[in-house]
Structure 1
Amino acid sequence: MKNIWRKGATAVAGAAVLAMAATGCSPAAENNTNNKSGSAATVTVRLWDEQVQKAYDASFKEFESQNPGITVKTTLEPYNTYFDKLRTDVSGGNADDIFWISGSYFAPYADNSNLLQIGSEFDGEKSGWVPAAVDQYTRNAKLWGVPQLTDGGIAVYYNKAMLAKAGVDPANLSWDPTDPSRDTFLKAAQKLTLDANGKSADDPAFDKDHIVQYGYNASQDLQAIYYNFIGSNGGAFQDGEKFVFASEKSAQAFQYIVDLINKYHVSPGAADTNDNGDFLRDAFIQGKVAMFQSGTYNLKNVADGAKFDWAVAPIPAGPEGRVSVVNNIVAAGNAKTKNADATVKVLKWLGSADGSKFIGAEGAAVPAVTGAQSSYQQFWQGKNIDAGQFAKAAEGKTVSAPIGSNYSAAFNAWKPIFNEIFLGRTPVKEGLQQAQDAANKAMGQ
C-alpha cells in the first residue's frame, strides 16, 4: 500500500481551503439516478493503491454475488495527484461514490458536509473497528469514514547479503545528532554505501560522484523518515494544529537527515526523491539501497519485487529511543451520491470482517477491521516472512499523524521550502523557520 498519508511529504496536495459546495453529481450517479434499496446501481470506489485495488476487486465480486443489482467499480488515482484531483472533483460534483481519505485531509470535507456520516446503521460493524482509527476520523462527535487500513509502526527492510558483507548488524543501531561517539547508524550507512570501485563512504578515497550502492533511504518522506527522526530526538512537528518543526530538537533531526544525503552521501540526492515517493522503494527492490525504512504499506511491494534475501529490523534509536508514527485510513461516502442506499451497503461491506478479509488475504495491508487481521498474519506466515517488527514499533513510543482543517494549504506552503532544504540549497534552520511561518499562516495560526 502507498504510505498512508501517502506520501505525506511527497504528494502535491491541493493549495486552497476546500470550497466544496457540489455543483453537480458524480459520473457514476448520472447513470444511476434510482437509488432505492434493491434497485440497479453502480457504486464507484476511488483509492490510490493498486495492491489494495486487487483485493477490493476480489471483495466486491463476493459482495455483488450477495447483492444482485449492485455493481461496484474501483478507480485508481496515483497518490501524487490524488488529493488535488479529489478536491477538484468533490468541488465540481465529479467525485466517486466512495473514496479513500487520510487523516491529514479529511477535516475540510467533514466540515463542508461533503461526507456521509457513519451513523447508527453501522452499529453492527463499529465494535470490530480499530479504536484509534475511529478516534482519528471522529470530528465534532461524528464519525466520517469506515476504517479500512491501519499501519503498524515503521521498520527497516534490509538486504541480508549487503549487510552481512559489510559486517553490519541492524538490530540495535542508534543515531545521535550531537554526540558522534554514540552514533552507530551513520557508520553502518557509510559502510553500506559503495562507489564504482567498491570503496565505502567511510573511505577517504570514496568517489561520491559514482555511487553504485546506497546505505539508506534518507529523504523527504514524512511518514517513513522525518516524523520518526523528530520523535526519537524528542521534537515535535505540530502542537495541536500549530506547526513547531523549526524548534531546536526538530531542527536537529532534519539536519541529520539532510546531512545523510548531502554531506555523507549515504542516500540518493533529493532531486530524485523530493517528488517521487516510490524512487527509493524501487531502488531497494533493484538492489541499489541496502536499508529501506518504511512501513507495512510496502511489505507486499518488497516481497513481490525483491529477488534477494531480505528481512526487517527496528528503526534506529535516537536520544529518546525508538519513536514511530502510526496512522489509519478510511473509506468515506460522498454526501452527493445519487446511490445513497447502495453506497451505504458497500460501506457496510467494507466495514465488515467478511468484506475486509480480502485485504489481509492478499497481504496488501493490515485491515482496520480487527476480525479480518488474522488473514493478513496468515498470508505472511505462509510466505515465511516475519512482519512482527512493525507491530512492535506500533506498540512502543509513537507520534501522532499530522492534522489540520487547512492542512492541504499548509502542506503546499512548506513543501517548496522543504524541497530546497533537502536539495541542500537552503540552510536547514533558516529554511525550517521560513517553512513553519508559511505553514502556520496558511493554517490560520
Structure 2
Amino acid sequence: MKRMFAVLMVIVMLFSTAACSSSTDTSADKTGNTAQSGDSKSGGTTSGATSSDKTVEIRFSNWDGGATLDAYEAAINAFMKENPNIKVTNLNIPSEYDTKITAMIAANDAPEISILNSDTLLYPLAEEGKLVNILDLIKNDPEFDGSDLIDNLKYMRDPNFMAGYGIGPQNICLFYNPALFKKYGVEEPPAKYENAWDWDTFVENAKKLTIDKNGKNALDPGFDPENIDTYGVTFGKWWAIYMPLVLSSGGDYLNADGTATGMDSPEAINAMQKMADLIWVHHVSPTPIASQTMPGLSESIATNKVAMSINGQWTNSDLMADGVEYNVAVLPKIGSKAKTVMTAGCLSILDTPKKEAAWEFFKYMCSPGAVSALEKSGLWLPSVKSGYTEEYLKEMITDKHPANYYESICLPMLDGTAEPPTTSWVVNFSKINDVLTPALDPVWAGESSYADAIRGAISQLNAEVKGRRDK
C-alpha cells in the first residue's frame, strides 16, 4: 500500500511540474496573426483580481485537437490583446483528460477554467465544492447580460447552482445526398421542423432510395437485402442519436419524477424498435457487420453509397472541408412533433483565487465571434442568443454551408425544438449509460426485440437511477 501511495505521489508531482512548465509558455508564437479582429467582446472589461497593473496568469484546460485547438489559440490571443492584465495559457490535454485534471485538483494545482465532461467530472466536482457557481458571478457583474445565455445550455447542479455552461453547442440533424433524391425522383426532406416528415413517410422514402446490386429498390419485388449497393439511411447507436426520436414519440430517458428509467415506457419502446426495424425489417440501413466496411460519411455521400444519415451537426465540418455536395434537413417525427437534442462542451470555472480573471475569459469565450473559425467551419453553433441574430448569422454562414443550415440547424436552438443535452439533467448518467449501451447491442444485431432487451436490463438500470437535476 505504501509503495502504491509513493508511486501516486510521484505521478502527481511530475504532472504538476509539467503543468506549471506549460503555464510559462506563451501561445503567441504558435498562432502568429490568427487572432480575431477587434470587435469588443462581452469580456472586454476587467474587474476584481484583474483591475491592477499586475498580470494575472490563468490556465484554460481542454482536450481538443486540430481546428478546435487552433481556434482556442486564436481566441486566447485575441482575448489577451483586449485584456493585457490577464495571461491565458492553453493547457491542452489530449489523452486521459479526466484522470489528469483530477490529479491536478488533488495536488492543489487546479486549472482556473476548464472544459469538463458533463457525464463524468462536471457534477462530482460541483458537489465537492470545487467549482464556482456561475450564477453568483452573473449576479455580481452588472455589465454582463445573463439573459443572453440559452437556458438549455446551463448545466445546473441544482436550481440555485450553475456548474458550467455549454459552449460551441451542436445538435442532431438529417444529412442527405441531393443527387440521389433527384436520380430516383424522391422529394427532398423538409428544411423546417414544422414540416417534418412523419415516420411512415420517412421509411417509405428510405425504401425508394435503398438500391440493391441489381438496381431494385426496397419496395420492388425481388429486392435483395443481402446485396445492397446504396442504403437509404445510416444512424449512430448512442444517446444523442436515439433521444430525439424517443422524445418525439413522447418518451424520455427517465420517468417524470426521476425515480426510474423512462426507456422502458411504451413510447420509448416504440421509438427504439422503429430504429432497429430500419435495419432488420425495412432493410434500409446497414447491419452492424455491414457498417464495419462502410466508408465515412463524406465518401459515402460522394460515392452514392448513402442517401440520408442521422448524425451530429458537427459532421458539417468534414463535409464542407471535403467539398461534398450535400444538404441538411430536419429529423422525422414519430409522435405529433419532431425533436432534436443539443450537445456541448461544458465550460466551468474552478474555485481558485483567480476566479475573477477566469470569469472574464469565460465571458469572452461565450460571446459571438470569439471562436468564429469553428462556427464558420460548421463545427460549432453560437453559444448565446445574441449569436443568432440575422446580422451575425449572415456573417457566420458561408457559401460552403448547406442550403438549409439556418432553418434545419440554427433555428431549432432557440424555438424549443432542440432539447437540452441528456447528460445535463440525468443524475449518474454515465453509470446508467454503461448499463444501457451494451443492453442495446442485441437489438442492433437483430438478436432481440427492444422490449425484451430493456426488460432484461431494467433492474440494473433502475439501480443506477439517482434522480433528475431539472426537478
Alignment of 1:139 onto 2:169: no
CA distance in 1: counterparts of 2:438 and 2:129, whole angstroms: 31
CA distance in 2: counterparts of 1:86 and 1:76, whole angstroms: 6
1:92 corresponds in structure 2 to: 103
The aligned amino acid for 2:375 is G
Q: How big is each residue's C-alpha offset from its partner over 1:49-99, in whole Å with a ceiling of 9 and x where there is no partner?
A: 74433322221221233445724325364xxxx8xx444233322775533
Please say if residues 329 and 404 of structure 2, whose CA atoms lie closer than 8 Å, have aligned partners that are also in contact: no
CA distance in 1: counterparts of 2:80 and 2:294, whole angstroms: 35
- Residue 145 of structure 1 aligns to a residue whose secondary structure is strand
Shift of 1:307: 2.5
1:6 corresponds in structure 2 to: none
Shift of 1:141: 0.8
CA distance in 1: counterparts of 2:153 and 2:201, whole angstroms: 39
Please say if residues 320 and 378 of structure 2, whose CA atoms lie closer than 8 Å, have aligned partners that are also in contact: no
Unaligned runs of 5+ residues in structure 1 are: 1-21, 177-182
1:65 corresponds in structure 2 to: 81
Query: With CA pairs under 8 Å and 6+ residues apart, which has the higher RCO, 1 or 2?
Result: 1
Shift of 1:147: 4.0
Shift of 1:146: 4.0
Please say if residues 264 and 451 of structure 2, whose CA atoms lie closer than 8 Å, have aligned partners that are also in contact: yes
CA distance in 2: counterparts of 1:193 and 1:48, whole angstroms: 36
CA distance in 1: counterparts of 2:393 and 2:238, whole angstroms: 25
- Residue 181 of structure 2 aligns to a residue whose secondary structure is helix
Distance 1:258 1:410, change over 3 A: same
CA distance in 2: counterparts of 1:49 and 1:126, whole angstroms: 31
2:452 corresponds in structure 1 to: 430
- Using the size of structure 1 for normalisation, the TM-score is 0.77
Q: Which has the larger radius of gyration?
A: 2
Distance 1:317 1:32, change over 3 A: closer
2:146 corresponds in structure 1 to: 127
Aligned equivalent of 1:261, options 279, 285, 292? 279
Shift of 1:163: 0.8
Please say if residues 333 and 343 of structure 1, whose CA atoms lie closer than 8 Å, have aligned partners that are also in contact: yes
2:21 corresponds in structure 1 to: 31
2:72 corresponds in structure 1 to: 56
- Using the size of structure 2 for normalisation, the TM-score is 0.73
The aligned amino acid for 1:314 is V
Please say if residues 223 and 325 of structure 1, whose CA atoms lie closer than 8 Å, have aligned partners that are also in contact: yes
Q: How big is each residue's C-alpha offset from its partner over 1:215-234, in whole Å with a ceiling of 9 and x where there is no partner?
A: 1123313223x112212222
Shift of 1:344: 4.0
1:221 corresponds in structure 2 to: 238
Aligned equivalent of 1:379, options 396, 400, 415? 396
2:421 corresponds in structure 1 to: 401
Distance 1:345 1:326, change over 3 A: closer
Q: How big is each residue's C-alpha offset from its partner over 1:369-388, in whole Å with a ceiling of 9 and x where there is no partner?
A: 33444545423244463311
Aligned equivalent of 1:249, options 255, 259, 267? 267
Distance 1:272 1:57, change over 3 A: farther
Aligned equivalent of 1:333, options 333, 349, 354? 349
1:390 corresponds in structure 2 to: 409
Shift of 1:305: 2.4
Distance 1:129 1:299, change over 3 A: farther
Q: How big is each residue's C-alpha offset from its partner over 1:169-217, in whole Å with a ceiling of 9 and x where there is no partner?
A: 12366445xxxxxx22212111211223323222343333332221112
1:197 corresponds in structure 2 to: 214
Aligned equivalent of 2:366, options 351, 363, 375? 351
Alignment of 1:231 onto 2:221: no
Please say if residues 32 and 42 of structure 1, whose CA atoms lie closer than 8 Å, have aligned partners that are also in contact: no
Distance 1:442 1:123, change over 3 A: farther
CA distance in 2: counterparts of 1:48 and 1:32, whole angstroms: 16
CA distance in 2: counterparts of 1:161 and 1:32, whole angstroms: 49
2:45 corresponds in structure 1 to: none
2:33 corresponds in structure 1 to: none
Please say if residues 363 and 379 of structure 1, whose CA atoms lie closer than 8 Å, have aligned partners that are also in contact: no
Aligned equivalent of 1:313, options 311, 316, 329? 329
1:302 corresponds in structure 2 to: 319
Distance 1:186 1:70, change over 3 A: same
- Residue 220 of structure 1 aligns to a residue whose secondary structure is coil
Please say if residues 236 and 310 of structure 2, whose CA atoms lie closer than 8 Å, have aligned partners that are also in contact: no
1:439 corresponds in structure 2 to: 461
Please say if residues 51 and 364 of structure 1, whose CA atoms lie closer than 8 Å, have aligned partners that are also in contact: no
The aligned amino acid for 2:430 is S
Aligned equivalent of 2:441, options 408, 419, 438? 419
CA distance in 2: counterparts of 1:430 and 1:73, whole angstroms: 48
CA distance in 1: counterparts of 2:226 and 2:299, whole angstroms: 21
- Residue 405 of structure 1 aligns to a residue whose secondary structure is coil
Please say if residues 194 and 201 of structure 1, whose CA atoms lie closer than 8 Å, have aligned partners that are also in contact: yes
- 1:156-175 pair list within 5 angstroms: 156-169=174-187, 170-171=189-190, 174-175=197-198
CA distance in 1: counterparts of 2:100 and 2:355, whole angstroms: 18
Distance 1:47 1:273, change over 3 A: farther
- 1:106-121 pair list within 5 angstroms: 106-118=122-134, 119-120=136-137
Alignment of 1:323 onto 2:343: no
CA distance in 2: counterparts of 1:339 and 1:294, whole angstroms: 39
Please say if residues 248 and 333 of structure 2, whose CA atoms lie closer than 8 Å, have aligned partners that are also in contact: yes
CA distance in 1: counterparts of 2:208 and 2:270, whole angstroms: 23
Shift of 1:392: 4.3
- Residue 89 of structure 1 aligns to a residue whose secondary structure is helix
Please say if residues 149 and 366 of structure 1, whose CA atoms lie closer than 8 Å, have aligned partners that are also in contact: yes
Distance 1:213 1:75, change over 3 A: farther
The aligned amino acid for 2:20 is E
Distance 1:117 1:254, change over 3 A: same
- Residue 93 of structure 1 aligns to a residue whose secondary structure is helix
Which one is further off, 36-45 or 400-409?
A: 36-45
CA distance in 2: counterparts of 1:430 and 1:187, whole angstroms: 27
Say what the alpha-carbon RMSD is for the aligned residues. 3.6
CA distance in 1: counterparts of 2:455 and 2:298, whole angstroms: 30
CA distance in 2: counterparts of 1:230 and 1:103, whole angstroms: 21
CA distance in 2: counterparts of 1:45 and 1:192, whole angstroms: 45
Distance 1:54 1:41, change over 3 A: same
Q: Size of the alignment, in residue pairs?
A: 406
